[in-house]
Structure 1
Amino acid sequence: MLPLIDAHHHIWDLDANRYPWLQDEPPIPFRYGDYRALRRNYMPSDLRHDAARQNLIASVYMEAEHDPADPLRETRWVHDIAAREGLPNAMAGAVFLDRADAAAIIQAQAAMPLVRSLRHKPKGVARPQDYDAGHRIPGSMRCPTWRAGYRWLAESGLHFELQTPWWHLGDALALARDFPATRIILNHLGLPADRSAEGLTGWRDAMARLSDAPNVLVKLSGCCVPGRLWMAALQAPVVLEAVRLFGAERCMVASNFPVDGLIASYDAIMDGMRIIIADLPEAAQRRILSGTAAETYRLPAP
């Protein structure tokens, strides 16, 4: 089995840290519906157990919406866990680009040994028909304050982890072109949850335009469809289209565990990904399963 680097997963200790979305009532609206099953500790030992069959050689922690009052506390905690457990091997920390402390937080995060990138989910609209290319929604990628914080990433050398639905990818393209020195790593394939013909056409067109920016990479992850089992046949069209558009050298797989554990097992997702890309040349498979992540997050090459 070819080696795997999981480029996007979480761990959390609900006894040691505060995660408002996991611990507060009522639960927030969530794309997979009821997520109360996630209200349990999930640590490196749990990830290793879930990934036991997958030849996992390294992993990348993604910020888990820890208490925004102190984003650096999460980073320090992850470093402590990694020192004890050997996982994760790199991480994406949190920042709030439209806050007055954005530059200071970026600088502090960049000084942490495991931090390679930062995430701040930009504001947007919930439906493609509500999107307006001229919008200036506060906290969005078009927001002047948000963009003023974003510009500090280039100086830090950190990448930006972007989680946004596909109808906001035009904003992402403008961001990529305006700040070419900063790599954007699109999380979860741009969230193609709507698999209708119209939904897939909109997603494909948006991804095709975004692929023109050479500083954008894509995580083949988080593409579960609410209410449907994770099956290779269901996911193959979006995964292979992303690989066709961006090339294997800009694509990487990730589990989004334990969140995507609401929909499928770790093996179902990763075995499915291996099936989907099985007809690609072995060099492309290796890039997607580990090589792109190793290069992007500065991990030892498998």
Structure 2
Amino acid sequence: MHIQVGAEDPIKEANWVDSIASANSDWSMMQVVYCDLTDTQMPATLDLFQKLPSVVGVRQILSRAPGIESGSILLDNITSPTVLENLQELSRRQLCFDLQLIPEVMEQASFLLQKVPELKIAICHAGSPHDRTASGIKYWQHALRSISSLPNTSCKISGLGMFHHNWKTQDFKVLVETCLEQFGSKRCMFGSNFPVDSLYSDYTRLFSAIKMLVPEPFHEAVFEKTASHFYNL
């Protein structure tokens, strides 16, 4: 899976990824593209994207950790009718939605997401638990409930090193356990977040750490089946 990277030209990025997918048909490579949910012309943009066989969904960032970004156009317009209409359009087209957000806005986001019960939604990076203090983890766990309670949501166990660069395997234990407890294994999927997480570890070390923390009976779901079902691989 390729998840959009914030390229200056999302259409050009999507065409480039699709060309790689077309040249390597044995890879079963799909992609999630960027679309602006606040744009009244988003359906026309989706028409362009859906000409590419590899496109299966859309991602947008609602919020990043404090200090990284002051806000986002989506967060500023989260109650806009256009945003809801565009999410409904994704559902009608049977496209999935990847959402990156932080605990501080989860409850607000849940009010919007519950209005599109047929839309498949993946929460990126376990909801970005950026505060790793005991109180920060507790706050994230509570906020995450507002999202995990929606049956059409799934959770990506990914990007856990972004807020803890010198991590050890046990540092991720409570995060992985919380995701599995709240979403269940059939709604959790592993994501590498590479190349971003390559700043903090190599792929083998990261994969081995998450594999160690996920109970073996859940391996098939977390490392294959959930993503395969969600993205129609």
The answer to whether the superposition gives a TM-score over 0.5 is yes
CA deviations on 1:253-272 (whole Å, 9 max, x unpaired) are 01010011111111111000
1:84 aligns with 2:18: no
Q: Please state if 1:202 is matched with 2:139.
A: yes
Q: 5 Å matches for 1:76-115? A: 76-86=15-25, 87=27, 89-115=29-55
Query: Residue 76 of structure 2 aligns with which residue?
Result: 138
State the distance in 2 between where 1:228 and 1:64 align.
20
**Pairing partner for 2:14 from 66, 75, 81:** 75
The one-letter code sitting in structure 2 at the alignment partner of 1:76 is N
Distance 1:91 1:174 in 2: 27
Change in 2 beyond 3 A, CA 1:150/1:229: same
Q: Which residue number in structure 2 is paired with residue 162 of structure 1? A: 99
* 8 A Cα contact 1:252 1:289, kept in partner: yes
TM-score (norm 1): 0.70
Contact 2:63 2:100 in 1 (8 A): no
Against the structure 1 CA distance between its residues 233 and 123, is the aligned structure 2 distance closer, same or farther, given a 3 Å change threshold?
closer
**Which amino acid is 2:228 matched to?**
A
Counterpart amino acid of residue 18 in structure 2:
H
Give the counterpart letter for 1:74 in structure 2: E
Contact 2:21 2:54 in 1 (8 A): no
Q: Distance in 2 between matches of 1:293 and 1:252?
A: 6
The CA deviation string for residues 156-208 of structure 1, in whole angstroms up to 9 with x for no partner, is: 11011000111111133222210111111000001012111111111000112
**Residue aligned with 1:255, SS:** coil
Q: Over aligned residues, Cα RMSD in angstroms?
A: 2.3
Q: C-alpha separation between the residues in 2 aligned to 1:191 and 1:124?
A: 8
- Give TM-score, length-normalised by structure 2: 0.89
Superimposed CA distance per residue, residues 71-113 of structure 1 (whole angstroms, 9 cap, x where no aligned partner): 2222111111122245461110111111232111123323421
Instruction: Write out aligned runs for 1:165-176 (5 A).
Output: 165-176=102-113
Please give the per-residue CA displacement for 1:209-241, whole angstroms capped at 9, x wherever unaligned. Answer: 211100000000001154542321000111111
Return the letter of the residue paired with 2:43.
A
Instruction: Give, in whole Å, the separation in 2 of the partners of 1:228 and 1:79.
Output: 32
- Structure 1 SS opposite 2:159: coil
**Count of equivalent residues:** 228
- Partner Cα separation in structure 1 for residue 120 and residue 133 of structure 2: 31
User: In 1, Cα distance between the equivalents of 2:160 and 2:17?
Assistant: 26
Contact 1:94–1:120 (8 Å) recurs in 2:
yes
Counterpart for residue 220 of structure 2? 286
Structure 2 counterpart of 1:287, which letter?
Answer: A
What secondary structure, in the 3-state scheme, does the structure 2 residue paired with 1:178 have?
A: coil
Contact 1:107 1:156 in 2 (8 A): no
Query: Which has a greater percent of helix?
Result: 2
Specify which structure has the bigger relative contact order, considering alpha-carbon pairs within 8 angstroms and separated by 6 or more residues: 1
Measure the CA separation in 2 of the matches of 1:227 and 1:220: 14
Q: Could you give the per-residue CA deviations for residues 127-175 of structure 1, whole angstroms, max 9, x where no partner exists?
A: 8xx99xxxx9534x33443333322111111011000111111133222
Aligned partner letter, 1:295: H
Distance change (3 Å), C-alpha of 1:119 and 1:201? same
In the aligned structure 2, how far is the partner of 1:253 from the partner of 1:230?
17
- Say whether the 8 Å CA contact 2:59–2:99 is kept in structure 1: yes
Q: Which amino acid aligns with 2:52?
A: M
